[in-house]
Structure 1
Amino acid sequence: MNHFVRRQFFKASTAFGAATFLPAHIALGDQANSETRAPSERVNVAFVGSGGKGDRNRQAFLATGLCNVVALCDVDLQGKHVQPALTAHPDAPKFTDFRRMLDEVGDQIDAVVVSTPDHSHFAAGMLAMSMGKHVWVEKPLAHTFGQVERMIDLADRSGVVTQMGNQGHSEANFHQFKAWSAGGVFKDVRKITAYMNKYRRWHGWGESVTEYPTDPLPTGMDWNTWCNPSPMNPHSKRLHPGNWRSWFDYGSGAFGDWGPHILDTCHRFLELGLPERITAIKREGANTLVFPQASTIQFAFPSRGEMPACDVTWYDGRENLAEVEPEYKATVDRAAKENRPGKIIYAGDHVFQGDSHGDELEVISTGADEVMATLPKYSTKSSNHWANFLLSCKGVEETQSPFHISGPLTQVFNLGVIAQRLGGEIEFDRVTKTIKNNDAALALLDPAPRHGWEEFY
């Protein structure tokens, strides 16, 4: 692909404001492929990240019967975790660098699925969209606020189909929350308590880390591409293949992993947008490199139209249980014991509790059975998240979690991660999308990329 054309297309997007620019099919001519497939045709899909979650996504997409696997990409093609995908598709071309894949076989690809560590979502997603490919990106959408801003903008300008991989957004809780919101059930939500008390990979060692450890690089591994725009630190088993989520440079902690599965419907249907204040109430075992052992972070959202201001308080850490009223403590204790992340929603006279993903809400305040009987009915019949994406590529449906929906949700967690990292209180301007009171936090909002990755910015 012509790298100059690619850079020019990216240049239309800046961190906090985008210029008008030609859509992909005009800017890139024949290299763009954003036209939807006929309903009778299968979608040709390439996978960036082919082990772990990438392999589970591959299987889920194939189970729909709506796609072909036409290319596989992974920085560690000799890794044990990648072998199931390679064995299943012996004739599909394989690559360690997504840029080379899109350059060499881009004309055979309709859609790209990005299932890589958080810090490497951005570049692959941007390149695919710039070439007119439909894009699925795992949650969280990207590693930094500025990266997400660019992805939202390019998705809009390119006209491609987009989906973030928070699959519960196509399940029962989505339809329930949508119907109940339309029925006025959530018109007076002033407080939400979210909790995620499962064991995390950095628990027990993260607070004592003073530097990145070093292990031999696996044979054939493309470490430069693994690091992507983020700093290049030494390879180790504490990073690859599964521990990258522990580190501020590469992961998004519990926020990025579980936030999109717990708070997605709250954020969307309560129209929360971006917070005006983020406060680190607790950071237990705080470390400059690795996420805290436990944290309590509060987001203050202002009033929106007729909806009142709302505080969302997040609790993570094995013993950092949510602080709730005595009558709801048993609910939180039971969820922690059973390893069930979730949330409690205070909606005027009624209080609701739900777990993560597509789990439906239930009333936990007084008169639960009587209240449930009065709430709007809804259907839970719909395509699953993977079929929804492919059917949208074929022009049959619209995606449930497109980037203009999942992007601002991710940005809430991007801001939460900054609070976990620095502590204190962050004042955020929702209009200019900037941090007003902390220069260190402002620098983390949109950090410069590592040398060699500037073209994606």
Structure 2
Amino acid sequence: MKEPKKEQDATSRRNFLKTTAIAASAFMIVPRHVLGGRGFLAPSDRLIIAGIGAGGKGQSDIASFYKSGKADIGFLCDVHDSRAANSVKAFPKAKYYRDYREMFDKEAKNFDAVSISTPDHSHAIQAIAAMQLGKHVYVQKPLTHDIYEARALTAAADKYKVVTQMGNQGASNDGPRIMKEWYDAGLIGDVHTVYAWTDRPVWPQGIPWSANKAPIPPDLDWDLWLGTAPYKDFVNKLVPFNWRGWWDYGTGALGDMGCHLLEAPFSVLNLKYATEVQASVGSVYVDEFKRGYFPESCPPSSHVTLKFPKTNKTKGDITVHWMDGGIQPERPEELGANDTFGDGGNGTLFVGTKGKMMASTYGANPRLLPLSKNENIKVAQKFARVTGGADGHYTQWVEACIEGYGKKELSSPFSIAGPLTESLLMANLAIRGTDIQRKNAEGKIKYPGRNIKLLWDNANMRITNFDDVNQFVKREYRKGWSLGV
């Protein structure tokens, strides 16, 4: 008996979809946006990711997205082939590019989201380009190299309605949420002072740029690596890690660890933008009598003090101290002589009117002081936990991308990560200001940026009382490169 036309049509459609799905899967999983636009759930319910920066932290980021079980790595991009080799081996079906711009031009229709784990000076230009294509973005910390870029990325995430996350995975730990619950319950009173410290840098800082030009490795595209930064000849040991200690590419210890250690104070106290900053830095000696002057390099150590205005969580202004290079605040009197302060090399301390609390890196292992107080804490859980904690930071972003913009809460979207990054970069303005030289009428060198407090005009993104440092708020890109906003 002949099938009714309606049933014939349904059968034909099922056969068509089945055949199409098989054909597509033979090539690769079709990006979700191709099948139905942003927010559409693909039959595989998986996100197709393009990774810019496939070695080092990029390698572990990409692996973590894949480990979520909800993402596929469709494309890999790296300017240094040997650094990318492990990721290429792990994801043999992923098409490989050296230039992210070529990848975007040729493959934009074939992926949904972009992971960016490149040196700091490349974050913004890559993230903006991805967002302008309507792609969700995950960007390693610090979000950007300079303040203007951070403000631009924050605005772009809202403009293009894409899902964003910064790679400060401790923001998804239980620790910051526990401290928020303790603070909201009044266990330490009103916080007025915060200390954060790190034993970083573990790379060279406070040194002159090498005068020894070295041969460029044949598998490294040096010009692409430099990107927006001024052209310089390649030198040994800069790549893949020691770039962090040079202002052209990195943001020093603050950029490396600040987003991990200051995220908890920002979330607990609802901090946003600082109003003033001052800094002192450690010096190095070129010989036993003469201190070095190396303004291209971050200092070996620093102590920065930031002032934040009153929030809905505090009764007054908040002073935040940042210390790096092994400098630590005075041990709290409530802490035993042999008790570990923070986690030893790193930590965060909240000082309130009724007590104190501290945490390790990533806001982990929160503790009230004295430590005996932790034996009987009775505070109800108020904030939902992220499944998997820090490891769940990756899955959280993947799931949010699949669900679509605005449908799932994230731990570090650019609306949060942007202001946090800006404050750290504002601290770097004060650090860099200490190296600015002038000669007085007698020809003697002076350092006018030292021993002063810089005042910040947030609306106009500028220091109002020492214009010399405003050159670092928005750096000049190398010819041929533009942020495109």
Q: For residue 65 of structure 1, what is the aligned residue in structure 2?
A: 69
Deviation, 1:283, is 3.1
Deviation, 1:374, is 3.8
Q: In 2, are the aligned partners of 1:180 and 1:376 still within 8 Å (CA)?
A: no
Q: Does 1:287 align with 2:287?
A: no
Aligned partners of 1:427, 1:329: CA distance in 2, in Å? 38
**Which one of the candidate residues 326, 330, 352 is aligned to 2:357?**
352
Q: For residue 429 of structure 1, what is the aligned residue in structure 2?
A: 457
Secondary structure (helix, strand or coil) at the match of 2:362 reads coil
Q: For residue 175 of structure 2, what is the aligned residue in structure 1?
A: 173
User: What is the count of residue pairs matched by the alignment?
Assistant: 420
Q: Which structure is larger by alpha-carbon Rg, 1 or 2?
A: 2
Q: Does 1:456 align with 2:449?
A: no
Distance 1:295 1:133, change over 3 A: same
Q: For residue 366 of structure 2, what is the aligned residue in structure 1?
A: 361
Aligned partners of 2:477, 2:60: CA distance in 1, in Å? 30
The amino acid across from 1:172 in the alignment is D
Deviation, 1:111, is 0.5
Q: Deviations over 1:118-147 (max 9, x none)?
A: 111111100000000000000000000001
Distance 1:57 1:381, change over 3 A: closer
**After superposition, where does 1:16-415 map in structure 2 within 5 Å?**
34-35=38-39, 37-38=41-42, 41-77=45-81, 79=82, 81-185=83-187, 188-198=190-200, 200-202=202-204, 206-210=205-209, 213-285=212-284, 287-305=294-312, 307=314, 308-318=316-326, 320-328=327-335, 330=337, 334-335=340-341, 339-365=344-370, 368-369=373-374, 373-377=377-381, 380=385, 382-383=387-388, 384-395=392-403, 397-415=408-426
Aligned partners of 2:142, 2:41: CA distance in 1, in Å? 27
Aligned partners of 1:242, 1:278: CA distance in 2, in Å? 28
Q: In 2, are the aligned partners of 1:198 and 1:339 still within 8 Å (CA)?
A: no
Aligned partners of 2:74, 2:212: CA distance in 1, in Å? 37
- List runs of 5+ in structure 1 lacking aligned partners: 1-28
Report sequence identity in percent: 29
Aligned partners of 2:199, 2:236: CA distance in 1, in Å? 24
Segment of structure 1 superposing worse, 59-68 or 43-52: 59-68
Question: Runs ≥4 in structure 1, deviation > 6 angstroms?
Answer: none
Deviation, 1:439, is 1.4
Segment of structure 1 superposing worse, 82-91 or 155-164: 82-91
Distance 1:277 1:34, change over 3 A: same
Segment of structure 1 superposing worse, 65-74 or 259-268: 259-268
Q: Deviations over 1:350-395 (max 9, x none)?
A: 100100114031111386247x524343564525001000000111
Q: Deviations over 1:33-58 (max 9, x none)?
A: 64454585100001000000011111
Aligned partners of 1:269, 1:207: CA distance in 2, in Å? 34
Q: For residue 420 of structure 1, what is the aligned residue in structure 2?
A: 431
Secondary structure (helix, strand or coil) at the match of 1:239 reads coil
Q: For residue 24 of structure 2, what is the aligned residue in structure 1?
A: none
Q: For residue 6 of structure 1, what is the aligned residue in structure 2?
A: none
TM-score (normalizing by structure 2): 0.80
Distance 1:102 1:186, change over 3 A: farther
TM-score (normalizing by structure 1): 0.85
- List runs of 5+ in structure 2 lacking aligned partners: 1-32, 285-292, 435-449
Deviation, 1:278, is 0.8
Q: For residue 20 of structure 1, what is the aligned residue in structure 2?
A: none
